[in-house]
Amino acid sequence: MARSALLNVMVQAAMKAGRGLIRDFGEVENLQVSMKGPADFVSNADRRAEEVIFQELSRARPDWGFLMEERGTVEGRDPQHRWIVDPLDGTTNFLHGLPMFAISIALERDGQLVAGVILNPAMDELFTAEKGGGAFLNDRRLRVAARKSLPESLFATGIPFLGQGDHAAALYEMRQIMGETSGIRRMGAAALDLAYVAAGRFDGYWERALRPWDVAAGAVLIREAGGFLSGMDGEKFDHMQGDVACGNEFMHKSLVEQLQQATLRRKAASATLSALPRRNSGNLTRI
């Protein structure tokens, strides 16, 4: 597979950072970690990987800006180009010795996503895509799955955890999808979920409350693999907005419909609960 010079820059940065992550992953018990929030850990490995990527991309394109998970926004002299980077998606997996984590690098040009790289160094899987050039896993061309039957489909999602996300909404959504499909998987790394949809391993994926670096590279992969993305309500996909639903044309449409049904069920249940008479403790008679 012939890669463009731009994609080669991204791949080289990811591969160099990935070698460091693998070394740290082999000594995961010895990592020093700090608490960034409830159940949201940031390791020294995460910071080192981000620094490697920052230095590599800055050396290759010194005028371009960054949006990074740890470093935040770094303004560049070229306002048209910005790298969007997650140096370690799946930190919790990483810290628990699970080999499902990834480096995610995307390029935004004039606000549009034009290239993406996702690397799982533990599995030696490199996903790449560039606008108009197709999507690839290592050297193999990718296409989204062709299934058009919900009962045969397999979906992925994220599940909120301690102190994060809308737990009630997630439960309604999973209950709705469970009743229509052959299963749901929770990988713990949004970038890999998206890459797996592009590779046809999952028929679709949805999740709320994501950040741009979670979805940017994966969105390029899915589009270049022939897939469709939107917000969870079916609105136009925007990597800056935080929620996503995706799959092939049929599965994407069906997923959005099922998620809308889940929202309606939740609203109906809430309305029913609100209509129930409230017990007035002051009128209770002690027996």
CATH number of residue 207's parent domain: 3.40.190.80
User: Are residue 120 and residue 233 in the same domain, yes or no?
Assistant: no
Is residue 184 in a domain?
A: yes
> Do the Cβ atoms of 152 and 178 come closer than 8 Å?
no
Could you tell me if residue 111 is left (phi over 0), alpha (psi between -120 and 50 degrees) or otherwise beta?
A: left
Q: Which domain holds residue 220?
A: 150-273
Was 238 annotated as part of a binding site?
no
Burial of 76 (0-12, 13-18, 19+ CB in 10 A): middle
* 111 and 161 within one domain: no
| Residue 287 is assigned to a structural domain of this protein | no
Asked if residue 64 is part of any domain, the answer here is yes
- Per residue in 181-196, pLDDT (tens digit) is 999 999 999 999 999 9
- In a shared domain, residues 101 and 160: no
Give 8's pLDDT tier (boundaries 50, 70, 90): very high
As for how many domains the chain has, the answer is 2
| 265 and 158 share one domain | yes
**Other Cβ atoms within 10 Å of 171 Cβ, number:** 14
100 and 173 housed in the same domain: no
Rounded CA gap, 127 and 7, in Å? 11
Q: Is 63 annotated as a binding residue?
A: no
Nearest-angstrom CA–CA distance, 149 and 197:
16
Residues 132 and 158 in one domain: no
- What ranges in the chain are assigned the alpha helix state H? 5-25, 44-60, 91-95, 167-178, 190-198, 212-224, 249-275
- Domain end, chosen from 108, 141, 174, is at 141
Asked if the model's pLDDT at residue 275 lies above 80, the reply is no
pLDDT in tens, 126-151: 999 999 999 999 999 999 999 999 99
Please report whether residue 111 resides in a domain.
Answer: yes
Query: Residue 277's pLDDT is what?
Result: 76
Q: Give the mean model confidence (pLDDT) for residues 171-181.
A: 97
Is residue 89 a known part of a binding site? yes
Q: Which of 123, 141, 159 is the last residue of a domain?
A: 141
Distance CA 94, CA 74 (A): 26
Looking up residue 45, the CATH number of its domain turns out to be: 3.30.540.10
Categorize the per-residue pLDDT at 21 as very low, low, confident or very high, splitting at 50, 70 and 90. Answer: very high
Domain boundary among 88, 121, 141: 141
Under a CB-based contact definition with an 8 Å cutoff, are residues 31 and 95 in contact?
A: yes
